[in-house]
Amino acid sequence: MLENLDELEIKFGTDGLWVINIILAVIMFGVALGITITDFKRLFKNPKILLTGITSQFILLPLVTFIFIKLVNPMPSIALGMMMVAACPGGNISNFMTQMAKGNAALSVSLTAFATVVSLVMTPFNLQFYGNLYAPTAEILHRVELNPWTLIKLVSLILGVPLLLGMWVRQRKPLIADKLSKVLKPISLIIFMLFIVVAFYDNFDIFIKYIHYVLVLVIAHNILALATGYYAAKIMKLSKENQKTLSIETGIQNSGLGLLLIFSFFNGLGGMALLVAFWAIWDIFSGLALAAYWSKQKTY
């Protein structure tokens, strides 16, 4: 029965946690190698884009997710998994997708950097706020006794430290940064995807039993996320190029961070882990498909 999913634990192990910690840190470091102080200055010179991007990702998406959860009423662990996805910053592959979609690649890089900094506070806040606002998920949060400060420290360690270190290398050794970036980003992303596949394999029976239930929710949630970014930019009368960029930045979430937090604080809670793991694969597929479609459209 589906109700059992709230009681299941996805197997991962201590070794797995260390591996995903390292992979996420390396991915963030690789992204940061292409980020400079100029990228932050570029955003502050255009506060309208900055506010729209941050609002879309950290205010509108969690709110839209909460409303969606209230409407469809999924089981509690699935609902908390959706909240986790919405609370995370944008995925690092969004920069590549934006460039492929003929969006604003410079804006994408800048927003990724800024959103990473903002997420150190907003990711724990949104998870706690919306998780406690919905009674079924509030019960889970109460049961695990989630410590927000511990959560902030882990997010800072995995995202904040590699960001600062990568930017420092970029500032001091730009040629080395370029070479490292070309190698680290694709390799680390491939390793991460292989790691997700292994996680699916190790828990194959659970995934097969429940994937049909999670599949519809992940696809619908992802479409909502992509639409949230796109129409937020459209309402603010940003250019078509920037509409595509904000759609991808909002719709492609850092599912790797979400999985790390789930296995670190929620003991691999079945519904959460299943939903976020599937999202990690699905949003890459949907993002690439959308970027390929937009790449064939005229920019105006």
pLDDT tens for each residue of 11-35? 555 455 666 677 777 777 877 887 7
Provide the residue ranges of all domains of the chain, joining segments of one domain with +: 12-295
One-letter identity of residue 122: M
Amino acid found at 231 = Y
Q: Which range is least confidently modeled, 97-101, 219-223, 237-241?
A: 97-101
Residue carrying the six token digits 């492929």? 100
Predicted pLDDT at 7: 56
Tokens of 272: 């959460």
C-alpha to C-alpha distance for 32 and 101, rounded to whole angstroms: 21
Which pLDDT does position 38 carry in this prediction?
78
Cα radius of gyration (the chain):
18
The pLDDT of residue 4 is 56
CATH topology assigned to domain 12-295:
Na+/H+ antiporter like fold (1.20.1530)
Is the pLDDT reported for residue 163 higher than 80? yes
**DSSP secondary structure, the chain, as one string:** -GGGGGT-B----HHHHHHHHHHHHHHHHHHHTT--HHHHHHHHT-HHHHHHHHHIIIIIHHHHHHHHHHHH---HHHHHHHHHHHHS-B-TTHHHHHHHTT--HHHHHHHHHHHHHHHHHHHHHHHHHHHHHSHHHHHHHHHHT--HHHHHHHHIIIIIHHHHHHHHHHHH-HHHHHHHHHHHHHHHHHHHHHHHHHHHHHTHHHHHHHHHHHHHHHHHHHHHHHHHHHHHHHHTT--HHHHHHHHHHHHSB-HHHHHHHHHHHSTTBHHHHHHHHHHHHHHHHHHHHHHHHHHTSPP-
- pLDDT tens per residue, range 100-123: 898 888 888 888 888 888 888 899
First to last CA, the chain: 51
Query: What mean pLDDT, rounded, does the chain reach?
Result: 83
Residue 67 has what pLDDT? 97
Residue 8 reports pLDDT greater than 90 = no
User: 126, 62 in Cβ contact below 8 A?
Assistant: yes
What is the rounded CA–CA span in Å between residue 212 and residue 59? 29
Instruction: Supply the pLDDT for residue 3.
Output: 47
| Residue tagged 């003929």 (tokens) | 102
CA 58/CA 63 separation, integer angstroms: 9
**What pLDDT does 199 receive?**
66
Least confident segment among 61-65, 66-70, 120-124, 195-199: 195-199
This prediction has a pTM of 0.85
What pLDDT was estimated at residue 200?
66
pLDDT at 155 > cutoff 90: no
